[in-house]
């Protein structure tokens, strides 16, 4: 059962999927249609899941589940990955690329591969104050507080 993202509890579990470019209006419409259809029928062990989604910054798809309503299982999580693969194929973007890092530069969001980012940190092209997007946040509350981080506050700080 899908609910509005603002109504999903702060302790709800989330998954963040990212694009290497801003999503177009037509890509967003495809994501909205597919996510709504999927989440409205998403179940775990035959029980409805209270779920939601958010497209953030035209770059990120956030899926949320209120586990207090009904707990989610591994099979249900696997089904959600089928949704992401389906969306990725339809819009021709890899939303599952975990080697991609999105960051802020001049108030715009840009993307870089992790290996290239490490090199830019080593050669001081990026500063410890460069803002990156933390796609490993686990709850809606963390999305609000820890999604945008200075590199110096992230696991990448070890490369400075």
Residue 22: predicted pLDDT? 97
Segment 43-63 mean pLDDT? 96
Residue 157: predicted pLDDT? 84
* DSSP code of residue 90: H
The average confidence (pLDDT) of the chain is: 94
Q: How far apart are CA 148 and CA 130, in angstroms?
A: 10
- Give the residue extent of every domain in the chain: 5-91, 100-159
Query: CA 15 → CA 31, 50, 112, 123, 141, distances in Å?
Result: 15, 14, 20, 32, 12
Q: Is the pLDDT of residue 89 over 90?
A: yes
**The pTM is what?**
0.94
Residue 118: predicted pLDDT? 84
Q: Is the pLDDT of residue 159 over 90?
A: no
Q: Is the pLDDT of residue 75 over 90?
A: no
């Amino acid at each position: 059962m899908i609910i509005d993202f603002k109504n999903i509890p702060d302790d709800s579990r989330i998954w963040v999927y990212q694009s290497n470019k801003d999503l177009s209006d037509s890509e967003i419409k495809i994501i909205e249609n597919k996510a709504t259809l999927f989440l409205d029928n998403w179940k775990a062990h035959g029980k409805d899941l209270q779920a939601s989604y958010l497209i953030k910054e035209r770059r990120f798809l956030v899926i949320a589940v209120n586990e207090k309503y009904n707990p989610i299982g591994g099979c249900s999580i696997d089904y959600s990955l089928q949704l992401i693969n389906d969306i990725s194929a339809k819009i021709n973007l890899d939303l599952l690329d975990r080697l991609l890092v999105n960051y802020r530069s001049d108030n715009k969001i840009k993307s870089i591969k992790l290996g290239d980012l490490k090199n830019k940190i080593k050669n001081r092209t990026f500063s410890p104050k460069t803002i990156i997007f933390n796609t490993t946040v686990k709850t809606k509350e963390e999305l609000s507080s820890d999604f945008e981080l200075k590199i110096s506050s992230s696991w990448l700080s070890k490369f400075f």
